C-alpha cells in the first residue's frame, strides 16, 4: 500500500460562495473575489499561489450571482486580438496568464449558506480519496515562497492535516479558529484540538488558523456528520478538531510571509497599499503621495 505521506496534493477547493456583505454596495453587482488589489483580482492571487504549489485541478464552490468568476477565467479572443493588433505584448501576456486549461476548473454550487465546512463538503465527489488543499481568497499572503508551496513541501515530510497558523493578539482570538498546541519543532506545531472563535479566557493558545489548509480525505466523513456549530454554520475547524481528538495527525504550520485579511475593509486597504508599494512602476509616486498626506 502506498504511503499516504508521499501522495501529492494536486487538487484545491476555493470556497467563493459568500455574499461579501462587508463590501456592499460594491458586491451587489460583482463577486468580492473579483475586487482588485492594484490590477489583479483577489482570486488571481489565490490561483497563482495554488499553481506555484503544484495544484492542477481547481474546484470552485460558488453560489448564485458568481458567473463573473467563470467569465474571468475564460478566454477573451476579441480582447486578445485587439491587444495583438496594437502590439501590446506585455498586456497580452498578462491576460493569457488568467486563462485556465479546459477541464482544469470545476464549479460546484452551494445552494445554502451553511458555512465553510459545508462548502468544502460540497466538493467531496471531486476529491474522492485524495489529499486536497483549501484556499480562502480573502486571505492574501505576500511571501517570497508562496504560503501553500511552503505547506506542500512540509506535507511531503509529515502527511496528516495541516493548517496555516499565525499568532494573533489576545483581543483577536475570538475572530478565529484557535489551535491547542502540544509541541512544536521549527515552523511545525503539533495540534490536539481546535476551538472556533473562543473567548480570550477560553482560548487554548494565540495560534490562529487562517485560510490555507491541506487536508486528508477522511475530513469529508467528519464534515458529513457535523451539526451546525458557531454562527449556526458547519465549521471546518470542528471537523479538524474531531480528527485531532481521535488520534489523527493535525499540524499548524507557521508560514513565512505577511498575511492580509482582505475580508475586512481595513485589511483590504492595507493590502492595496502594500502591494502597490512593492511595484517598481508605482512605489515612487505612491510614496510621495503618502508623504503629502502625512504632512498635510
Residues 215 and 290 in one domain: no
Split into its structural domains, the chain has a count of 2
> Tens of pLDDT along 14-43?
999 887 888 888 888 888 899 999 989 999
CA 96 to chain CA centroid, Å, is 23
Is 16 a member of any domain? yes
Is 1 a member of any domain? no
DSSP for 137-203 reads TTEEEE-SS-HHHHHHHHHHHH-SEEEEEEE--GGGGGGSEEEEEEEEETTEEEEEEEEES--TTT-
Residues 289 and 171 in one domain: no
Contacts of 80 (CB under 8 A, 6+ apart): 92, 95, 96
The upper half-sphere exposure of residue 279, i.e. CA atoms within 13 Å in the direction of its Cβ, equals 14
Find out whether the peptide bond into 25 is cis, omega within 30 degrees of 0.
Answer: yes
Is 120 a member of any domain? yes
Higher pLDDT, 102 or 173: 173
Is 3 a member of any domain? no
User: Comparing 87-91, 98-102, 140-144, which segment has the lowest mean pLDDT?
Assistant: 98-102
- Residue 82 reports pLDDT greater than 70: yes
Contacts of 179 (CB under 8 A, 6+ apart): 163, 165, 189, 191, 193, 194, 204, 205, 207, 208, 209, 252
How many other C-beta atoms lie within 10 A of the C-beta of residue 279?
A: 12
User: Comparing 80-89, 204-213, 253-262, which segment has the lowest mean pLDDT?
Assistant: 80-89
Residues 85 and 227 in one domain: yes
Highest-scoring range by mean pLDDT, 63-72, 105-114, 187-196, 233-242: 187-196
Is 80 a member of any domain? yes
> Tens of pLDDT along 124-143?
999 988 999 999 999 999 99
Q: What is the span of the domain harbouring residue 199?
A: 8-263
Residues 143 and 278 in one domain: no
Residues 279 and 183 in one domain: no
Give the model's pLDDT for residue 146.
96
Give the model's pLDDT for residue 228.
62
Give the model's pLDDT for residue 17.
87
Mapped onto helix, strand or coil, the DSSP state of residue 244 is helix
Residues 97 and 221 in one domain: yes
d(CA 42, CA 136): 10
Q: Which run of H or E residues covers position 81?
A: helix 77-85
Residues 180 and 50 in one domain: yes
> Tens of pLDDT along 180-198?
999 889 899 999 999 888 8
Residues 169 and 295 in one domain: no
Contact 255, 187 (CB under 8 A): yes
- Residue 1 reports pLDDT greater than 60: no
- Residue 5 reports pLDDT greater than 50: no
Is 155 a member of any domain? yes
User: Comparing 48-57, 146-155, 238-247, which segment has the lowest mean pLDDT?
Assistant: 238-247
Specify the CATH number for the domain of residue 26.
3.90.550.10
Is 2 a member of any domain? no
Highest-scoring range by mean pLDDT, 28-37, 196-205, 211-220: 211-220
d(CA 155, CA 215): 10
| Mean pLDDT, all residues of the chain | 88
Residues 287 and 253 in one domain: no
d(CA 87, CA 84): 5
Task: Label residue 2 by pLDDT band (50, 70, 90).
Answer: very low
Straight-line distance from the first to the last Cα atom of the chain, in angstroms, rounded to the nearest whole number: 68
Residues 199 and 219 in one domain: yes
Looking at residues 248-253, what average pLDDT do you find? 94
Residues 231 and 282 in one domain: no
From the list 17, 33, 54, the residue with the least C-alpha distance to 156 is: 54
DSSP tally for the chain: helices H, then strands E: 11, 13
Looking at residues 246-271, what average pLDDT do you find? 94
Looking at residues 256-283, what average pLDDT do you find? 94
User: Comparing 36-50, 80-94, 227-241, which segment has the lowest mean pLDDT?
Assistant: 227-241
- Residue 220 reports pLDDT greater than 80: yes
Residues 170 and 68 in one domain: yes
Is 278 a member of any domain? yes
Contact 209, 139 (CB under 8 A): no
Amino acid at each position: 500500500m502506498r504511503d499516504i505521506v508521499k501522495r501529492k496534493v494536486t487538487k484545491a477547493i476555493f470556497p467563493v460562495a459568500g455574499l461579501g456583505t462587508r463590501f456592499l454596495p460594491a458586491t451587489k453587482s460583482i463577486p468580492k473575489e473579483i475586487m482588485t488589489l492594484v490590477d489583479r483580482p483577489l482570486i488571481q492571487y489565490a490561483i497563482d499561489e495554488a499553481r506555484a504549489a503544484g495544484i492542477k485541478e481547481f474546484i470552485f464552490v460558488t453560489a448564485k450571482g458568481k458567473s463573473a468568476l467563470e467569465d474571468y477565467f475564460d478566454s477573451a479572443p476579441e480582447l486578445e486580438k485587439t491587444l495583438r493588433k496594437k502590439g501590446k505584448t506585455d498586456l497580452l501576456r498578462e491576460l493569457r496568464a488568467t486563462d485556465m486549461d479546459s477541464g482544469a476548473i470545476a464549479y460546484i454550487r452551494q445552494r445554502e449558506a451553511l458555512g465553510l465546512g459545508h462548502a468544502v463538503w460540497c466538493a467531496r465527489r471531486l476529491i474522492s480519496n485524495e489529499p486536497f488543499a483549501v484556499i480562502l481568497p480573502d486571505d492574501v499572503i505576500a511571501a517570497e515562497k508562496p504560503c501553500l508551496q511552503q505547506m506542500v513541501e512540509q506535507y511531503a515530510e509529515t502527511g496528516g492535516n495541516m493548517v496555516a497558523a499565525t499568532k494573533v493578539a489576545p483581543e483577536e482570538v475570538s475572530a478565529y479558529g484557535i489551535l491547542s498546541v502540544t509541541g512544536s519543532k521549527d515552523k511545525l506545531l503539533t495540534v490536539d484540538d481546535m476551538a472556533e472563535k473562543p473567548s480570550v479566557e477560553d482560548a487554548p493558545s494565540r495560534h490562529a488558523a487562517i485560510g490555507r489548509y491541506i487536508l486528508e480525505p477522511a475530513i469529508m466523513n467528519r464534515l458529513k456528520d457535523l451539526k451546525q456549530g458557531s454562527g449556526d454554520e458547519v465549521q471546518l475547524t470542528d471537523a479538524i478538531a474531531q480528527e485531532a481528538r481521535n488520534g489523527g495527525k493535525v499540524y499548524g504550520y507557521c508560514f513565512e510571509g505577511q498575511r492580509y485579511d482582505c475580508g475586512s475593509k481595513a485589511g483590504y486597504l492595507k493590502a492595496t497599499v502594500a502591494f502597490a508599494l512593492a511595484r517598481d512602476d508605482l512605489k515612487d509616486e505612491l510614496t510621495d503621495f503618502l508623504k503629502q498626506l502625512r504632512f498635510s
